[in-house]
C-alpha cells in the first residue's frame, strides 16, 4: 500500500504543549509531531528557544533548531506574567501531554508540576526532562550534554589512551538519549491512559538515559574489573575492528566478529593465509593484546591498494566494512537516496531538506511540516482559544505574547 494514500497517523488528534529549549525536549516533541501530534511550542516573547541562536548554518537559521523543531507551532508567551496563565490553562485543558525541560525546579515554581495540574487536568500526561531527575542529591544541578557525558562515564570510553585523550561524542548524545526515552515513555503513557482514563507523570533524566546506553562497558568493568580502554575509532576489546589507512590516502572501516571471519580475512583480504595460524593472533583476546603488531601488518598489506580495492576484497570475503564518511558524504549517501529518505520542509528561510524519521511504515507517511518562526502561530492559537483581535493586540502591547 502506498503510504501517502492513507493520511491518518498514529498520533493524529493528540495535542502536546511544550515548554522546551535546547535539544532533549524539542527532540522528543519533534518525534511526536512526526507521528501526527499537534505540538504547540511555548517560547519567550522576543527571544524564543535559545537554540534558535546557536549558529546560522542553514540559510541563517540554527542547525540545531531546524533539526528538532519541524512540524511545530510557535506560541510566544511570558509564563511569568499573570495574564499568561489564563492562556496556558486554556491550552492545558485541551492538551493531552505537557513536556518541559526548564531549569531544575522552574516548572514546579510556575505551578506546572504534575501534582499541581492533576486535579484540574486528570487526563493530562506530564513529562519532565532534566539532567538528574526530580529528586536525589543532584536534582538541583544544571546539566548540559557534555556534563552528562562526563558524569555518565561516556567520556571515559571515548577518545585515545592517556589523561588528555578523552573525546566527547560529536553529537548531543545525552540529550538525544533523554529525548528518545521521553518519547517512548509518552507513547506508553498514552496507551496506559486508554485503559485507565487517567494521565501520569513521567520523570526522565539525562543521566539515567545515557547510563542505560553504557551497559556494555559497565558490565565489562563489573565488580572492580579493568574498564575497557579508550581506543579511538577502534573497538576497545575486539580486533581488528576499526579504521585502517589505504595506499591512496583514504581510510576504510572494517570489523571482524569471530574466528571464521579471521581465517577468511587472512586468506582473501590480506592474502596471507599463514597469519591465521600465527599464535599471536589465534584468538580475539590475543589479537587485541597484540593489536599494534597486527595493525602494522594490515597497514602494510593495504599500502599498495586503494580504498575501493580494499572494500571490494572485504565485500568479496563478506567481511563487514564501511566508508569513513564526513557530513558531505552523508548528505550524498547513495543508500539514503535509493531508499528515498529525503524530503523537504518549509522554514522562515525557505525550503530545506529533511531526513524522514527512521522506521518506514506501510500505512502512513510522517508529518513533515515547516520549522516555525518565533511566535508565528500566536494569533491563530489565541483566536482558537476565543480571544478577540483587540485582546490579542493588548496582550502583544503588554508583552504577554
Please give the average per-residue pLDDT across 210-224, as a whole number: 95
pLDDT category of residue 163 using cuts at 50, 70 and 90: confident
Residues 243-264 have pLDDT tens digits of 999 999 999 999 999 999 999 9
pLDDT for position 391: 93
Q: Cell 500500500 sits at which residue?
A: 1
Give the chain's mean pLDDT: 94
Give the distance from CA 157 to its chain's centroid: 19
pLDDT for position 236: 86
Q: CATH second-level architecture of 3-213+341-397?
A: 3-Layer(aba) Sandwich (3.40)
Q: Give the span between the Cα atoms of 341 and 356, in whole angstroms.
A: 5
pLDDT category of residue 233 using cuts at 50, 70 and 90: confident
Q: Give the span between the Cα atoms of 371 and 349, in whole angstroms.
A: 9
Give the distance from CA 25 to its chain's centroid: 10
pLDDT for position 45: 95
Residues 118-135 have pLDDT tens digits of 999 999 999 999 999 999
Q: Is the pLDDT confidence value at 4 over 50?
A: no
Helix (H, G, I), strand (E, B) or coil at 396: helix
Q: For the chain, what are the domain ranges?
A: 3-213+341-397, 241-324
Q: Cell 551497559 sits at which residue?
A: 215
Any alpha helices (H) in 97-238, and if so which ranges? 106-109, 114-118, 145-151, 173-196, 206-213, 215-220
Residues 42-55 have pLDDT tens digits of 999 999 999 999 99
Q: Give the span between the Cα atoms of 37 and 45, in whole angstroms.
A: 24
Q: Is the pLDDT confidence value at 5 over 90?
A: no
Helix (H, G, I), strand (E, B) or coil at 100: strand
Spell out the residues 6+ positions from residue 346 whose beta carbon is closer than 8 angstroms to its own.
Answer: 352, 369, 370, 371
Q: Give the span between the Cα atoms of 353 and 376, in whole angstroms.
A: 21
pLDDT category of residue 229 using cuts at 50, 70 and 90: confident
pLDDT for position 3: 42
348: its cell numbers: 522562515
Domain boundaries 241-324, corresponding CATH code:
3.30.1540.10
- Interhelix angle 24-34/173-196, nearest 10 degrees: 50
Please give the average per-residue pLDDT across 133-148, as a whole number: 94
Give the distance from CA 265 to its chain's centroid: 35
Q: Is the pTM of this model over 0.85?
A: yes
Q: Is the pLDDT confidence value at 7 over 90?
A: no
Residues 68-96 have pLDDT tens digits of 999 999 999 999 998 899 999 999 999 99
Give the distance from CA 23 to its chain's centroid: 8
Q: Is the pLDDT confidence value at 224 over 70?
A: yes
Which H, E and C letters describe 244-291, residue by residue?
EECCCCCEEEEECCCHHHHHHHHHHHCCCHHHHHCHHHCCHHHHHHCH
How many other C-beta atoms are found inside a 10 Å radius of the C-beta of residue 390?
A: 8
Please give the average per-residue pLDDT across 384-397, as a whole number: 94
102: its cell numbers: 526548564
Please give the average per-residue pLDDT across 173-180, as a whole number: 97
Please give the average per-residue pLDDT across 310-338, as a whole number: 95
Q: Is the pLDDT confidence value at 232 over 90?
A: no
What percentage of the chain has pLDDT greater than the value 90? 91
pLDDT for position 47: 93
pLDDT for position 138: 94
Please give the average per-residue pLDDT across 14-24, as a whole number: 97
Q: Is the pLDDT confidence value at 396 over 60?
A: yes
pLDDT category of residue 234 using cuts at 50, 70 and 90: confident
User: Which pairing describes strands 342-345 and 201-205: parallel, antiparallel, or unpaired?
Assistant: unpaired
**Phi–psi pair at 103, nearest 5 degrees:** -60, 155
Element (H, E) at 342: strand 342-345
Amino acid at each position: 500500500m502506498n503510504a501517502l494514500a492513507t493520511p491518518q497517523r498514529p498520533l493524529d488528534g493528540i495535542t502536546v504543549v511544550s515548554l522546551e529549549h535546547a535539544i532533549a525536549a524539542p527532540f522528543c516533541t519533534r518525534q511526536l509531531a512526526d507521528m501526527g501530534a499537534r505540538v504547540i511550542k511555548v517560547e519567550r516573547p522576543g527571544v524564543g528557544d535559545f537554540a534558535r541562536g546557536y549558529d546560522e548554518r542553514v540559510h541563517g537559521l540554527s542547525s540545531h533548531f531546524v533539526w528538532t523543531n519541524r512540524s511545530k507551532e510557535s506560541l510566544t508567551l511570558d509564563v511569568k506574567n499573570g495574564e499568561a496563565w489564563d492562556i496556558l490553562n486554556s491550552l492545558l485543558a485541551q492538551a493531552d501531554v505537557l513536556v518541559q525541560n526548564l531549569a531544575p525546579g522552574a516548572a514546579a515554581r510556575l505551578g506546572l508540576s504534575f501534582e499541581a495540574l492533576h486535579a484540574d487536568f486528570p487526563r493530562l500526561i506530564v513529562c519532565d526532562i532534566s539532567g538528574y531527575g526530580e529528586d536525589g542529591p543532584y536534582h538541583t544541578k544544571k546539566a548540559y550534554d557534555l556534563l552528562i557525558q562526563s558524569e555518565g562515564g561516556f567520556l571515559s570510553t571515548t577518545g585515545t589512551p592517556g589523561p588528555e585523550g578523552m573525546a566527547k561524542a560529536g553529537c548531543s548524545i545525552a540529550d538525544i538519549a533523554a529525548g528518545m526515552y521521553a518519547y517512548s515513555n509518552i507513547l506508553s503513557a498514552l496507551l496506559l491512559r486508554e485503559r485507565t482514563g487517567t494521565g501520569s507523570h513521567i520523570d526522565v533524566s539525562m543521566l539515567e538515559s545515557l547510563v542505560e546506553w553504557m551497559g556494555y562497558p559497565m558490565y565489562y568493568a563489573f565488580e572492580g574489573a579493568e574498564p575497557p580502554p579508550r581506543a579511538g575509532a577502534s573497538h576497545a576489546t575486539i580486533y581488528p575492528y576499526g579504521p585502517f589507512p589505504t595506499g591512496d590516502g583514504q581510510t576504510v572501516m572494517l570489523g571482524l566478529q569471530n574466528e571464521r571471519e579471521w581465517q577468511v580475512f587472512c586468506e582473501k583480504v590480506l592474502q596471507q593465509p599463514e597469519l591465521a595460524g600465527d599464535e599471536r593472533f589465534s584468538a580475539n583476546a590475543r589479537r587485541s593484546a597484540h593489536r599494534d603488531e597486527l595493525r602494522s601488518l594490515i597497514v602494510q598489506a593495504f599500502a599498495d591498494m586503494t580504498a575501493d580495492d580494499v572494500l571490494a576484497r572485504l565485500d568479496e570475503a563478506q567481511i563487514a566494512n564501511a566508508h569513513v564518511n564526513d557530513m558531505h558524504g552523508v548528505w550524498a549517501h547513495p543508500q539514503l537516496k535509493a531508499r528515498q529518505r529525503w524530503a523537504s520542509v518549509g522554514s522562515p528561510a525557505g525550503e530545506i531538506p529533511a531526513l524522514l524519521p527512521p522506521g518506514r511504515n506501510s500505512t502512513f507517511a510522517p508529518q513533515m511540516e515547516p520549522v516555525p518562526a518565533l511566535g508565528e502561530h500566536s494569533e491563530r492559537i489565541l483566536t482558537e482559544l476565543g480571544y478577540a483581535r483587540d485582546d490579542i493586540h493588548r496582550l502583544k502591547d503588554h508583552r504577554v505574547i
